């Protein structure tokens, strides 16, 4: 008669065979169909805990070091209930600014909100492969304008809001409440925005009849187009049925409605305008924008109007991030090199010196103390030390660099300190200027930056090369 033994009974029988019958561990393991290590483990557990030690224990760990502390979890729940429009990323930024320790991750905050039924879990959205993001390279290059509803008055009427967003900085240039979005009020909103902030180079809008007569019955131009022509502004129109082209201003509408207009009723248009003006001021100057590296839009938009004063010359910008900065010169294609990777800054900054900061997986690029670009870090975390070695203290003055003149040889290169640096075949037999800073060698011609190379020459030979700044361009083997 076959009798099925329990798991603990089988282990106990195997242990007794080894201890009382002097059977070898190898033979016992073979008979019971387990490895020798399992038999040894049973022997140890039986010696420490007796028969109860052969029972399987729970795999649950006694402690969980990465679990959010109850105090931090309570603070997260409190912030979400006070500001229902804040998501996990905004709450994380607020915790960083409040100096909360230990700091939870964004995914931990998301799970916390789901546990407390403060956020409905949603499946992760996958972006279509043909979805393409784009952004103008500098402020005032393009405005996106549109009209939206959302304002409610006590008399039951629903005024419209004429909105405008600077494409590069996400700065709100226009948010005017109008009774009806006809041609007159929309054009007045445009003129007020230009009077306050200046004239953009181009304006992007949809095909609404207040913006264009493209699909209207008449053949003449509308008032909005006429104003753009009078001020030399290019008016760009989206393709029919493509609202994602003006996605930035559409996203602004969502933020305006969710964070401000929801559940609000105003007594008059004037009251609604005053309230929206206050919210727009906070949006532009205080609210962090995720697409800008969690910085307010004013930091980017102010670059368009920045006029450095004479007494500001020689002073260093007030940079608040980190204590190390990496100086780079922007190439003609609008990119900078950081650890063999190229990051886009903007062609309008070609030839200018920018500061690169690496922090929390992001590379933030500043020009004259203003954040102009934010990129996800591409180099590995263990390469961060190389970046810090190339960086200098933020309190140190920016190195001006020594300048020498060299002639480009027939191979399109120049020689400095016994090392060849590529310039290009188009500049053969021409004299160029080499600017030598701490970690780079920049080649320019007539004030135009041609190439930037990391230093590859022997630093011991640099002093002799700098002792001959004019070079000998007329020697026979120079080209």
Beta-strand relationship, 143-148 and 202-205: parallel
User: Residue 50 carries which DSSP code?
Assistant: G
What does the pLDDT profile of the chain (479 residues) look like in tens digits?
344 557 888 888 899 898 888 889 999 999 889 999 999 998 998 888 888 888 887 777 777 777 888 899 999 999 999 999 899 989 999 998 888 888 899 999 999 999 999 988 877 665 555 556 678 878 899 999 999 998 999 999 999 999 999 999 999 999 999 999 999 999 999 999 999 999 999 999 998 889 988 887 766 788 999 899 888 899 999 988 888 889 899 999 999 999 899 889 999 999 999 999 999 999 999 888 887 877 889 988 887 654 433 333 333 333 333 445 677 888 878 888 887 788 888 877 877 778 888 776 778 888 777 778 888 777 776 676 666 665 544 444 444 557 888 899 988 999 888 889 888 888 888 998 888 776 677 788 887 777 777 777 877 777 667 766 665 544 444 44
Q: Which two tokens stand for residue 36?
A: 């020798």
CATH of span 143-287: 3.30.420.10
Pinpoint the residues of the chain covered by CATH 2.40.50: 317-393
Q: Which two tokens stand for residue 361?
A: 């997986």
The domain made up of 317-393 has a fold known as OB fold (Dihydrolipoamide Acetyltransferase, E2P) (2.40.50)
Pinpoint the residues of the chain covered by CATH 1.10.10: 70-115
User: Residue 289 carries which DSSP code?
Assistant: B
List, in sequence order, the alpha helices (H) in 50-177.
70-82, 88-98, 106-115
Residue 455 CB contacts under 8 Å (≥ 6 apart), including other chains: 436, 439, 440, 441
Tell me: the pLDDT tens digits for 193-220?
999 999 999 999 998 889 988 887 766 7
What is residue 40's predicted lDDT score, i.e. its pLDDT?
92
Please state the length of the chain.
479
The H or E element that residue 405 is part of is strand 402-407
What is residue 320's predicted lDDT score, i.e. its pLDDT?
36
What is residue 122's predicted lDDT score, i.e. its pLDDT?
79
How far lies 458's CA from each of 90, 324, 479, in Å?
48, 25, 23
Q: Domain 70-115 is in which class?
A: mainly alpha
Q: Is 367 exposed, middle or buried (0-12, 13-18, 19+ CB in 10 A)?
A: buried
What is residue 350's predicted lDDT score, i.e. its pLDDT?
79
What is residue 251's predicted lDDT score, i.e. its pLDDT?
92
């Amino acid at each position: 008669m076959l009798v099925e033994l329990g798991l603990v009974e089988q282990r106990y029988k195997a242990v007794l065979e080894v201890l009382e019958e002097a059977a070898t561990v190898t033979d016992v393991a073979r008979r019971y169909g387990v490895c020798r290590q399992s038999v040894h483990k049973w022997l140890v557990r039986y010696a420490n805990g007796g028969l109860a030690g052969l029972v399987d224990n729970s795999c649950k760990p006694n402690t969980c070091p990465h679990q959010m502390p109850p105090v931090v979890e309570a603070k997260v729940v409190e912030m979400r209930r006070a500001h229902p429009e804040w998501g996990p990323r905004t709450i994380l930024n607020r915790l960083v600014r409040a100096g909360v320790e230990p700091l939870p991750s964004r995914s931990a905050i998301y799970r916390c909100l789901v546990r407390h039924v403060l956020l409905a879990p949603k499946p992760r959205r996958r972006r279509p492969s043909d979805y393409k993001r784009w952004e103008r390279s500098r402020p005032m290059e393009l405005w996106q304008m549109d009209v939206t509803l959302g304002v409610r008055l006590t008399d039951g009427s629903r005024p419209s809001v004429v909105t405008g967003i600077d494409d590069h900085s996400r700065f709100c240039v226009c948010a005017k409440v109008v009774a009806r979005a006809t041609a007159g009020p929309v054009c007045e909103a445009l003129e007020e925005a230009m009077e306050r902030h200046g004239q953009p180079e181009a304006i992007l809008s949809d095909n609404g009849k207040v913006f264009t007569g493209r699909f209207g019955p008449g053949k003449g131009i509308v008032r909005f187009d006429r104003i753009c022509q009078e001020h030399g502004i290019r008016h760009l129109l989206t393709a029919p049925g493509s609202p994602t082209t003006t996605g930035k201003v559409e996203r602004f509408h969502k933020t305006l409605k969710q964070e401000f207009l929801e559940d609000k009723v105003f007594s008059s248009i004037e009251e609604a305008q005053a309230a929206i003006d206050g919210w727009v001021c906070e949006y532009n100057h205080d609210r962090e924008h995720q697409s800008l590296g969690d910085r307010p839009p004013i930091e980017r938009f102010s670059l368009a109007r920045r006029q450095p004063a004479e007494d500001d010359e020689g002073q260093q910008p007030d940079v608040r991030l980190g204590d190390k900065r990496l100086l780079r010169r922007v190439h003609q294609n609008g990119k900078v090199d950081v650890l063999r990777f190229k990051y886009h800054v903007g062609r309008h900054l070609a030839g200018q010196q920018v500061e690169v900061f690496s922090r929390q997986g992001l590379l933030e690029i500043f020009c004259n103390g203003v954040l102009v670009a934010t990129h996800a870090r591409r180099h590995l975390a263990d390469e961060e030390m190389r970046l810090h070695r190339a960086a200098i203290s933020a309190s140190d003055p920016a190195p001006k660099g020594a300048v020498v003149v060299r002639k480009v040889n027939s191979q399109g290169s120049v020689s400095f300190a016994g090392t060849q640096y590529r310039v290009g075949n188009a500049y053969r037999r021409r004299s160029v200027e080499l600017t030598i800073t701490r970690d780079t060698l920049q080649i320019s011609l007539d004030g135009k930056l041609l190439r930037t190379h990391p230093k590859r020459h022997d630093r011991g030979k640099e002093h002799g090369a700098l002792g001959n700044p004019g070079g000998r361009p007329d020697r026979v083997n120079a080209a």
